Structure 1
């Protein structure tokens, strides 16, 4: 019986925002970053152990338009004022199959957007690579700490859950790895976590949330709700007692407010 083609689902994740006070050719400058994530059969995010490295082919006006990135989630960060179509070339482990080329539309219509792609592998590739493709992969959510809260009274397990944490910081899925010397400069600066969200490091902010008292966590939720926009990723599940936020989508003003609030409560 002939073997079937193996398929893997991945998505290209784009985040961008305006750099205040900077313009070029009459247009505002924007910081943008792109990363890749696998998707399993349950729709959960997972790593990409079968991808060796990724090459981004940018617009020819960029200095060094060909950028190589070797660390998952293969994140590239840059700055510019214009939209353009780029190529993303995935190179696989042990050169087991020909590189896969993805077309990606870098646009500024949304601060955060995700595009899914399907990769197809023929069954006549190296058996070791087929085994790698079929091997169970740890999902990103398995590694991320789940932080949850609700606005009701606190006692017993609910108190422990609230005190332990409040928010699921989705940006933890992007590990703070530094790339090798041959990787793009933009990627290594993005990995530091210090350059993207103005002066606010979302990883540190999430850690501050975990140290807050329950009453302070309720105030955090109120602040987010009061400043919430359609561009923010905010999800509330009252029955499960969860309140999830992607800190990267909150914007500099709200992040600064939350930072100042946490600092005051923890150091006051």
Structure 2
């Protein structure tokens, strides 16, 4: 599953008249860059889809690599020069995508938008991404069965707990679960297997009640959920 979203970088900067110039003709400035994710209507939302965001600043900074873990991941500094930075957005500990950003002083406030891609997002990440728009699996279910979206929260099983439990399984047990899913798959289920990359993804909300019960019971037996 490939999910695309747009992110908006918001830059604010202003001159610090009380600060002495380090380089003649270039006043000291205070600047900040914040990151938001946009919904279908272009409205900004907290970028909870990222675990952390790292700004790679000009090497002349005392601390050129700065990491933030809470939206809107605002990076705030002082300086006199413009420069091009890269911003690394992490969805997991190792999975990241980089966004280029031109820090300039032509305007006190300016915004830039970039498209980011999420490949085979986890169930937990899918739920976060649904807050800003539908996923391909949602559209497929609508086409196949006229479904209206994920099951309601008052369903018997907690799908977020199932997703978290699956993420805790060791490789051998995870292969057993994949076999269990394939053995009990139905026409309405959304499953995607990428043999070349060894990736397997499923929309848990598309599973039958009987398969959901099997997974729940299996994860409970393994102590992954309670």
Give runs of aligned pairs for residues 46-195 of structure 1, distance below 5 A.
46-92=45-91, 94-95=92-93, 98-122=95-119, 124-135=120-131
How does the TM-score come out when normalised to structure 2?
0.54
**Cα distance, 1:37–1:71 mapped onto 2, change above 3 Å:** same
- The answer for unaligned runs of 5 or more in structure 2 is 134-226
Structure 1 stretches of 4+ with a deviation exceeding 6 A read none
Work out the number of aligned pairs and report it: 131
Three-state SS of the structure 2 residue aligned to 1:134 is helix
**Cα distance, 1:110–1:136 mapped onto 2, change above 3 Å:** closer
Partner of 2:17: 20
Distance 1:25 1:129 in 2: 46
Distance 2:132 2:116 in 1: 17
Q: Is the CA contact 2:86–2:101 (under 8 Å) kept in the aligned structure 1?
A: yes
Cα distance, 1:42 vs structure 2? 1.0
Distance 2:74 2:105 in 1: 18
Cα distance, 1:86 vs structure 2? 0.6
Give runs of aligned pairs for residues 165-244 of structure 1, distance below 5 A.
none
Cα distance, 1:59 vs structure 2? 0.5
Distance 2:40 2:46 in 1: 13
Q: Deviations over 1:96-143 (max 9, x none)?
A: x72010110000000000000111112x34233223322459xxxxxx
Greater Cα shift, 106-115 or 15-24: 15-24
Q: Is the CA contact 2:56–2:87 (under 8 Å) kept in the aligned structure 1?
A: yes
Distance 2:132 2:44 in 1: 13
Q: Deviations over 1:178-197 (max 9, x none)?
A: xxxxxxxxxxxxxxxxxxxx
Aligned-residue CA RMSD (Å)? 1.7
Larger CA Rg, structure 1 vs 2: 2
Partner of 1:10: 7
Distance 1:89 1:8 in 2: 16
Distance 1:109 1:136 in 2: 31
Partner of 2:140: none
- The answer for unaligned runs of 5 or more in structure 1 is 138-268
Distance 2:109 2:132 in 1: 28
Distance 1:136 1:84 in 2: 31
The answer to whether residue 29 in structure 2 is matched with residue 30 in structure 1 is yes
